[in-house]
Amino acid sequence: MPPGLAAREAAVRVIAAVLNEGRSFEAAAAKQFEDYGLEGRDRGLARLIAATVLRRQGELEAILDSYLQKPLQKQKSLLWPILLAGAAQLLFLQMPPHAAVGLAVDQARRDRQAAHFNKLVNALLRRVSREGAEALPALDGVALNIPQWLMTRWRENYGADTARKIGAASLAEAPLDISVKSDPQAWAEKLGGTVLATGSVRLAAGGRIEDMPGFSEGAWWVQDAAAALPAKLMGDVRGKSIVDLCAAPGGKTAQLVSAGAEVTALDLSPQRIERLQQNLARLGLSAETVAADAGEWAPERTFDGVLLDVPCTATGTIRRHPDILRLKRLEDIAALAEIQSRLLDQAAKLVAPGGMLLYCTCSLDAEEGERQVARFRERNAQFRLAPIKAGESGVAAEWLTARGELRTLPFHTPSLTPGHATELPTGEQDKLVGMDGFYAARLVRQS
Ligand SMILES: C[S@@+](CC[C@H](N)C(=O)[O-])C[C@H]1O[C@@H](n2cnc3c(N)ncnc32)[C@H](O)[C@@H]1O
């Protein structure tokens, strides 16, 4: 195989698995990278191409369609994913045209159903390379790439201006955030990153995580700055008993154990509990683990704290999981909200008097966040909201609701501590912006 072909073929198969078969990006990538034996840089390249297509599908299709005299059958073969991947390399990844076009043609030739379109692939991608960059700025990226139902939902929740800002931020690549066991400043210096006001260390994305200093000895783990807030908002947990009810892969469990809590980590999926155990083992941290349905689990005891990080539409994490744009549907919100309210009611039973229930979700939808908690409080009068205050754990006033719930949006950025990152040129600083959209409410049981 010519150099670079395996990475591009794997990327195209990941794109096809997501768009044609509805598979998740991570599952498809794991399978294809293994099948193609991709390592290091090739994995990174395949990932970048596939993620860019999933983010920018609308704009890429608008440009390709404008060059076609009659529409192509998009769902059937690898032809359309090959074209999307080729166009993404030319328009968004600034790859040399001879490589992007030549390797796309090679791929078409190697696929039985796409083979007789190889001349079309060549002609179309050459045209993209000549004219596409000029056509691109005239397109409305937010309107074309974000599904309409999602934009509508964001407009209803946040108003038109904020919805557009959410849309634009969701299409960007996220920086790499890590949570460190101790001494964030020293790790920031060692890794070339910056410490955020919230305590996470932020680096520009890129590079193999496993090869970075401190990974194998378990000094830190990958966790978005916003995802690191809910566990911090549980306050001083030293010596407290805490159950983390939807715990895998264990980012929040690791924070709580590191902070000195006695943690029980539960998850529905035994495979994901295994992953959590592996992650904790690497970090040299320990927790009791349980594989069970949090909606049914009824131990004969209560806990000082319960953390409930519910399964959700995850629309706050599109930057990291662009397949959400292509796979989630409006109906998913109501279906998940029903599961969340069942989990909340069961979680409430596990909280000792005076104890805390921290509910959180990486969905941007109020139905899974603000309204979910409002309904819970109507059903459970013994819980009061303990408002989160600006300044706590680096939380900015802008990320709080009037009632004191956390509501981060993808265009919010935690302040960077002065030093290395703030001295970077603007282009580099741009890679350090944003955070996942997260919602968290802190509830305390009064009796
Ligand atoms: C948002 S993820 C949790 C992320 C995790 N808290 C962390 O910080 O790494 C949601 C988790 O809920 C689990 N889950 C889904 N339904 C569940 C249920 N009924 N009971 C327990 N866990 C469930 C999923 O397997 C998934 O691991």
Mean residue pLDDT of the chain comes to: 95
CA distance 166 to 111: 38
Ligand 1 mutation pick, 244, 245, 267, 317, max ligand atoms within 8 A of CB: 267
Query: How many angstroms separate the Cα of 171 from the Cα of each of 66, 84, 314?
Result: 22, 16, 15
Residues 52 and 137: beta-carbon distance below 8 Å: no
Of ligand 1's listed atoms, the one at least distance from the Cα of 295 is 19
Residues ≥6 apart with Cβ < 8 Å to 447 = 353, 382
Does the Cβ of 309 fall within 6 Å of ligand 1?
yes
Sign of torsion over alpha carbons 434, 202, 27, 254: negative
Q: Which of 63-77, 83-97, 228-242 has the weakest average pLDDT? A: 63-77
Task: Find the 62 Cα to ligand 1 centroid distance in Å.
Answer: 37
35: left (phi over 0), alpha (psi -120 to 50) or beta: alpha
Task: Find the 304 Cα to ligand 1 centroid distance in Å.
Answer: 20
Does the Cβ of 251 fall within 6 Å of ligand 1?
yes
Residues 170 and 319: beta-carbon distance below 8 Å: yes
Name the H helices within 358-434: 370-379, 426-429
pLDDT band per the 50, 70, 90 thresholds, residue 246? very high
Mean pLDDT of all residues in 296-318:
98
Residues 201 and 184: beta-carbon distance below 8 Å: yes
Residues making up the chain, counted from first to last: 447
Residue 97's CB is within 10 A of a number of other CB atoms, namely 15
State the pLDDT at residue 419: 60
Of ligand 1's listed atoms, the one at least distance from the Cα of 307 is 6
State the pLDDT at residue 3: 83
Does the Cβ of 252 fall within 6 Å of ligand 1?
yes
State the first-to-last Cα distance of the chain, in angstroms, to the nearest integer.
68
Of ligand 1's listed atoms, the one at least distance from the Cα of 293 is 20
pLDDT band per the 50, 70, 90 thresholds, residue 418? low
State the pLDDT at residue 290: 98
Task: Find the 312 Cα to ligand 1 centroid distance in Å.
Answer: 9
Does the Cβ of 294 fall within 6 Å of ligand 1?
yes
**Looking at the predicted structure, is the pLDDT value of residue 364 above 70?**
yes
Judging by DSSP bridges, how do beta strands 241-244 and 220-222 pair with one another? unpaired
CA distance 294 to 352: 17
Ligand 1 atom 2, closest CA: 311
CA distance 128 to 135: 9
The verdict on whether 362 is a catalytic residue reads: yes
Ligand 1 mutation pick, 246, 274, 340, max ligand atoms within 8 A of CB: 246
Structural tokens at position 231? 């566990």
Of ligand 1's listed atoms, the one at least distance from the Cα of 252 is 8
Residues ≥6 apart with Cβ < 8 Å to 436 = 174, 224, 225, 226, 227, 316, 317, 319, 320, 362, 408, 410
β-pair partners for 243: 264, 306
**Looking at the predicted structure, is the pLDDT value of residue 331 above 80?**
yes
* C-alpha radius of gyration, the chain, whole number: 23
State the pLDDT at residue 74: 74
Please identify which residue in the block is written with the tokens 């978005």: 224
Does the Cβ of 308 fall within 6 Å of ligand 1?
no
φ, ψ (nearest 5 deg) of residue 308 = -125, 100
CA distance 337 to 28: 27
Burial label for 137, CB within 10 Å (0-12, 13-18, 19+), is exposed
pLDDT band per the 50, 70, 90 thresholds, residue 20? very high
**Looking at the predicted structure, is the pLDDT value of residue 199 above 90?**
yes
Burial label for 306, CB within 10 Å (0-12, 13-18, 19+), is buried
From 246, 312, 360, 362, the catalytic residue: 362
Alpha carbon of residue 51 to chain centroid: 12
CA distance 91 to 83: 12
For residue 81, whether the previous peptide bond is cis, meaning omega lies within 30 degrees of 0, is no
Task: Find the 170 Cα to ligand 1 centroid distance in Å.
Answer: 23
Q: Which of 83-87, 208-212, 240-244 has the weakest average pLDDT? A: 208-212
Mean pLDDT of all residues in 376-403:
97
Does the Cβ of 338 fall within 6 Å of ligand 1?
no
